Structure 1
């Protein structure tokens, strides 16, 4: 059992450097949170008792923005009426009696290595990225439309980054919290809330890659809105060239590596003098981002990790020559290079109601784009991590912000609208159970009938696996304490 003495003299989390040194052995992420207590009072706290604590050294989050239909993917209802089943069928998986959508044949063959959760539920059917992937207790359209709404809690990856920086202030050559393939929401409009620092501040916003190449397939996209014209879009999620590259976020082009190195010593001296002058001043986002940019530039590890062209053509084809497939491959490479939390987002591209937001043309998109893209990329990632001995300590989460309506809508190409009362997710790797189906919905996958889960429970359980006690406290910039996992509970149903 550990004893932590707290104060709020230096860090916004209330801990001095001396406090950090007293905590002792580090958890797998380099974090010391097994028994992290209130920063303003000394007390003892028992370690979490659920299995798997700290079993994940790193995590890959596969975020299917827009939300897949649970009925057409992980929770099919073959005996439901036609207007519920839709035109797409289901197939038997490797687990007796467990079926998945026909668009996921490779996943069906490896379902004995994953856990499917069929009973996620919450009351707000909006595109709530912040609600799905942070501990914020409630959400609304205003929160999900404003990146800097004061009510935001930090993204999961931002918490990982924040706590990692408390244990090691040196900027890592590979960001601890990285997002592929481009800034969230940027290929249709301004960035959307979710993967940001929340009350920890913009210092801990996600770091993004960039991908500028156009797709190889021009597709006529229809938003379903008669007031929005149809557009032909070269969507890279449908296909890219083998030569198309990911980029790090470009620094000031006038700052060459030679100039950076020649200025480094002076910059370090000035920074040291400033910190000596005012030891109580915390780093600004500019300070931290400058340090991170320098670490990235001088190391080259991030650039090399994003170089998927160095992999064999055969392996790249297994992942799929699509933006999502190659992003999953890049995510594996980032973890190998030292990354901790990598998000791969299947985002909107070019027009509203793209990504997995299948209000219209759902059947053709699931059959020709979405299903094959997810099926190939996830199965290849699982096999690749396993072959490299990384799966046992890497957590993989496949999740979205809600589900789709049980009944198919009478629209062009068929479609399903937003539905948050019942939806599904998938988990694999470190600490997660294998070959398990958790939860049950009613006969039309409209409501949870057994073992309801809040997305807050998934957040808390993922923190637990990453060696972070969700009941431990972090503090905002005003020193107010918050439990890391909010009101979420660690759920043993998902754990091995």
Structure 2
């Protein structure tokens, strides 16, 4: 629970202590804090050691917000800079099912959307995303030339950590091929792919497991809006039908299959899984045909599984309509601090913003023992 019923991916996934609509609309606002995966990567780079062959901070299925429209803050490097952004996959194929998506927004008409979150073809592939600006694949004749380009670009950066980050990206793209191989979900048995769900979220979760197997440290899968504002889980309109036909089945299949798959491979005890949103939905439906539920931050749920988290436990309670927390409230900052804890990172570990101020990675959150095994 929190007090901001606005789009708040940044507030939910970074240590930033407060938010508002303008802040959540500007990914590169200097007040933004770094995404949790960016912090994990930054701290690992700060410790030194060999360069990773698979990105430590990887996100899927496509760059955040890139298929929807106006930009929003969230999974970015914040005051650590853009070189601390996650490395993203790309997905370009249209979906196999087409819907009329109503924007519920004045001035934005309905549009027909072939939404891959509702269905994809077996042959549809994830791609490696292009390198950062100034590093052009078509200029390359060898992996070494890419590394030289990155080194030259990185000399213009202010920090050694940013320089190392660029080198890590070069290694991930050119040296081992491990990331490219991990994204090839077509190599998995079709029966397993179908259990995860033949939709973009399900196939992304399967690919995420493969990236972890290949050596990834922190992998994020977003169920992002696609093709229209107020799509995905932003169910201002047609709430019930979207939950029944697309959202609920897609999430259930992917989440449960990921847990079962990780356990069968002996990976679950070492993999922390968090399913989280930026806010919930109003406890009462709009009283109109095709009605939806609007933003509601007073009470909503998250799910936890895997390494460090308790099993078979329900924490917290709401009133009878699910509108207000009546017992054991959590803030997104508590979830963030607890996630750092299970990852072996003290949430009071300090990083420095652009003004040189030391700030705790967990913000004002505290580790919640109720969630821990």
- How does the TM-score come out when normalised to structure 2? 0.93
Shift of 1:227: 3.6
Structure with the greater alpha carbon radius of gyration: 1
Equivalent runs, 1:160-309 vs 2, <5 Å: 160-168=40-48, 170-225=50-105, 227-251=107-131, 252-256=136-140, 258-261=141-144, 282-283=159-160, 285=162, 288-289=165-166, 291-309=168-186
Shift of 1:413: 1.7
For 2:289 and 2:243, the matched residues in 1 are separated by 14
3-state SS in 2 of match to 1:424:
coil
Residue 149, structure 1, aligned to residue 29, structure 2: yes
Aligned to 1:311: 188
For 1:412 and 1:196, the matched residues in 2 are separated by 38
For 1:489 and 1:478, the matched residues in 2 are separated by 25
For 1:221 and 1:199, the matched residues in 2 are separated by 36
Equivalent runs, 1:322-361 vs 2, <5 Å: 322-361=199-238
* Unaligned ranges ≥5, structure 2: none
For 2:4 and 2:277, the matched residues in 1 are separated by 13
For 1:262 and 1:422, the matched residues in 2 are separated by 52
Contact 1:172 1:296 in 2 (8 A): no
Greater helix share, 1 or 2?
A: 2
For 1:123 and 1:159, the matched residues in 2 are separated by 25
Q: RCO greater where, 1 or 2, for CA within 8 Å and sep 6 or more?
A: 1
3-state SS in 1 of match to 2:222:
strand
Equivalent runs, 1:28-67 vs 2, <5 Å: none
Equivalent runs, 1:90-101 vs 2, <5 Å: none
Shift of 1:414: 2.2
Q: How many residues align?
A: 368
Shift of 1:422: 0.7
For 1:147 and 1:255, the matched residues in 2 are separated by 30
3-state SS in 1 of match to 2:128:
coil
Q: CA 1:243/1:186 → structure 2, altered by over 3 Å: closer, same or farther? A: same
Which range moves more in the overlay, 233-242 or 216-225? Answer: 216-225
Contact 1:171 1:295 in 2 (8 A): no
Tell me which of 443, 461, 480 is aligned to 2:338.
Answer: 461
Shift of 1:291: 4.6
For 1:156 and 1:267, the matched residues in 2 are separated by 28
For 2:161 and 2:70, the matched residues in 1 are separated by 24
- How does the TM-score come out when normalised to structure 1? 0.71
